[in-house]
Chains A and B, each alone.
Chain A
Amino acid sequence: MKFRAKLVDVGCLNHFTRVVNTISKLTKTCTLRLTTDNLFFMLSDKVANGGVSMWCELSQANFFDEFQLEGVSAEANEIYLEFQPENLSRALRTAQNAKSLKIKLTKKHCPCLTLAAELPSLSSVSRVVTHDIPVDVIPRRLWQDLKEPSVPEFDVSHRVQLCRLITEAEVSIYLPPLKTMKNVVDRMKNLSHHLVVEANLSGEMNLKIETDLVSVSTHFKDLGNPSWGDDSSQGPSQDRAAEVMACARVDIKKLQQFLASQQVNPSKAMC
């Protein structure tokens, strides 16, 4: 098993750092899956996670100038690692002005992801900061627990998709600016433990809380609804009347945590 990658563009480094920061705010441990074309950050839907799951896919060519992988075997040319994203986030913080960043899989006292950042310095010799982040290699027999969630392919024009929810989508809707949503949810969080999200195919969404003392709801209009995949397969939602609301009741703290974690400004966010 071998993995080496090099990143030299400061914009790419910055973007990568923000993605990792987002993930580190969502979960303490996560799985990194490396293939020849992609990196995936995954958290599977387990009771230990409070039922929250996460799946993030990055195309490696968008970030790295060099990317070499030799997986577990020829047929399974992939590597699955479990690690703490906070460690990676912390390491990347020291590398923000780096001339280059190299990442590779190494074996120190345990398997590690080693990051080496070449930093500008006051002398002719660059400073090198090296971080060894301990990782656990996940054996092949456990890979099926970490399969990609079964949602339709989004029509993606942006590089990163974050936080797909494992659900049978009755309605899909584009979210309002996440910052706006965060402000609303922050205020509601103090009043209730749960929040109801409602949306319909007319681009309307409501966020509602209801307690013995008070009910509050915030209404969003004209959000737009994404179409799924190619035109020929529209999915079950097509039979639905446009104004009928689908609703889901979620733990407000988890929703707030997700909204607070966002470090990347997405071009699209969908629910």
Chain B
Amino acid sequence: MKCVIEGNSVKVFGKALHALSRVGDELWLDPLEKGLALRTVNMAHSAYACFLFSPLFFQQYKSVAELLQNRGNLKCKLTMKPVYLEAELMKAMHTEMSLNPEEFDYFQVGVDSDITFCLKELRGFLSFAESYCLPMAIHFGSPGKPVCFSVEDMVLEASVVLATLADPESRTPSQNPGPQEEARIPIVLRCDGEMDSHDPTASQPPGRADVTPQQGSVEERIASSQGSPVFSGLARMRDLLQLHKVCSLGNRGVVSSRAEQKFEEPACATPMPWKFRSLLFGAVSGLQADGGVSSPPSLVCCSDTEEEAGEKNQDCHRTERSDLRCFIEACTSREKGWCTHCES
């Protein structure tokens, strides 16, 4: 495999790697015709992330056909440095935020939904999306079904697929995490909706999307990965890739700019195995009625993840910022592993 990345794109590539390292310890490199895919799965096999860099991203990208001629079936796996989080099971602060559907570029919620997933694997991804001001699509269904976060621009697509708790009622913490298991910070995403409408031009009911972090549960054990006695990593990866394909089919239909308000039904030959509700955060920039660009409100100041002890907090007002990330940064601390929780 031979790819050449020019200067400015190296930074993007690095940030993608950083986001992937927040999910799993091993990185799979997959040179495809449509681009270079970087994939990872976490230790519990409950989270999957993928970054696909199109050939346009590279200064030079040797096609797969050429590679296969020489090497046959090419696989490449790297180990990334693991990051362990020390969780403090102390009394945690609980936080809740409500977002009105009008804040989203696109908001379609058919029925009330309430999902719980781990925040840790998402943070790196959000950080990446925020750095490049990419609108984010969220697809999710009923509890237990995965949730998919995805972004795309002209030269890359990226997504993270996370398992959700099958039974949202069981929110009590299970046994303490083992020494290798990273502590998890669960978050509850709750949506209210009334109509199930695929017509974006129909006026949406005033639903509410609550993003509510979850207290207490330190360890998520998803039934499917925990219960099976014989575990095949590759099979699991295939399942998750299948989900990713479904997500991306749906995603392509849903991405829309504020100005255009276009929507296409996802074209699926086979019936989707899961039902999705989709949300788009459009809070990056927006055109006001007078044609001016509104600067979105900044929820919080700089992230605390990279701060050294003793460094003075700075007041930052960055005008282009993923608001979900702001909120999540405020709720969690990687160093302390606090859980945050909310009630509606």
Q: Mark B293-317, 1 if CB is under 8 A from A, else 0.
A: 0101111110000000010110100
Bound-state Cα–Cα, A125 to B333, Å: 29
Q: Out of B91, B96, B103, B330, name the residue touching A121 (CB < 8 Å).
A: B103
Which one of A31-39, A131-139, A160-168, A209-217 is at the B interface? A131-139
Q: Out of B93, B98, B102, B343, name the residue touching A131 (CB < 8 Å).
A: B93
B44 at the interface (CB under 8 A from A): no
**B102 touching A130 by the CB < 8 A rule?**
no
A124 at the interface (CB under 8 A from B): yes
Bound-state Cα–Cα, A119 to B326, Å: 13
Bound-state Cα–Cα, A86 to B300, Å: 15
Q: Out of A110, A120, A128, name the residue touching B91 (CB < 8 Å).
A: A110
**B330 touching A134 by the CB < 8 A rule?**
no
**A132 touching B93 by the CB < 8 A rule?**
yes
A195 at the interface (CB under 8 A from B): no
Which residues of chain A from 7 to 37 have a CB within 8 Å of any chain B CB?
Answer: 21, 25
Bound-state Cα–Cα, A87 to B93, Å: 7
B97 at the interface (CB under 8 A from A): yes
Q: Mark A118-158, 1 if CB is under 8 A from B, else 0.
A: 01111111011111111000000000000000000000000
Contacts of B226 in A (CB 8 A): none
**B327 touching A263 by the CB < 8 A rule?**
no
A91 at the interface (CB under 8 A from B): yes
Contact A129 B93, CB 8 Å, known A121-B100, A123-B103, A263-B313:
no
**B102 touching A123 by the CB < 8 A rule?**
yes
Bound-state Cα–Cα, A87 to B315, Å: 18
Bound-state Cα–Cα, A248 to B327, Å: 46
Q: Out of B94, B283, B298, name the residue touching A97 (CB < 8 Å).
A: B298
B286 at the interface (CB under 8 A from A): yes
Q: Out of A96, A120, A134, name the residue touching B92 (CB < 8 Å).
A: A134
**13 A-B pairs, CB-CB below 8 angstroms?**
A86-B336, A94-B300, A94-B327, A97-B298, A119-B297, A120-B297, A121-B297, A122-B283, A123-B102, A124-B102, A129-B299, A130-B342, A263-B312
